[in-house]
Structure 1
Amino acid sequence: MRSSTQFDTATTTGATTRQPGSLCTHTPKCPTADSPDREAAHVVAAYPEQGWSLLCNAVVLFEDTGELLPDGRVVAPHRPIVALA
């Protein structure tokens, strides 16, 4: 049986728990998740063996350059196209 967590307690009582829009605590602030340069944010947690990292603006960045934004939107991988010689 699973042990109770804060999230489980909030769910069973009907309250909702949201992750903050930004985990950025340094100066200058990193770009927000809605900024075009959102990938420049600092890494908060890295899991290279699983192929993803959490950035301080709450974006999950995958090694294939895909992204999961804090609001649930998905950004498709956007690797640069290599010119054929």
Structure 2
Amino acid sequence: MEPIASPLTTTRLPDALCTHSPICPSADSPDAEAAQVVAAHPEQGWSLLCNAVVLFEDTGELLPDGRAVAPHRPLVALV
């Protein structure tokens, strides 16, 4: 019997799709948001990055393994 794939199994885009130099950071890197946009839908408020992260306009993220990252807008400095 073959194992059933979990819906939370990490799916990574093939490295061949990242033709940028330098190669985009992986989805689990601290700088994951620095990856190139491969599909932008500003009218819907999201973009797909080269590392398979879905980045929302409120700065929230959906990682390839299904985990969500809460919005993390920078705090405005009080002057």
User: What band does the TM-score fall into relative to the shorter chain?
Assistant: 0.7 to 0.9
1:21 aligns with 2:12: yes
Q: CA RMSD in A?
A: 2.0
- Which structure has the larger Rg? 1
Structure (1 or 2) with the greater helix fraction: 1
Equivalent position of 1:84 in the other structure: 78
Runs of 4+ in 1 over 4 A off after TM superposition: none
Q: Higher relative contact order at CA 8 Å, sep ≥6: structure 1 or structure 2?
A: 2
Percent identical residues: 77
Gaps of 5+ in 1: 1-14
Among residues 27, 31, 35, which one is paired with 1:37 in the alignment?
31
Structure 2 letter corresponding to 1:21 = R
Normalised TM-score (structure 1): 0.72
Normalised TM-score (structure 2): 0.77
Equivalent position of 2:41 in the other structure: 47
Contact 2:10 2:65 in 1 (8 A): no
Gaps of 5+ in 2: none
Q: How many residues align?
A: 70
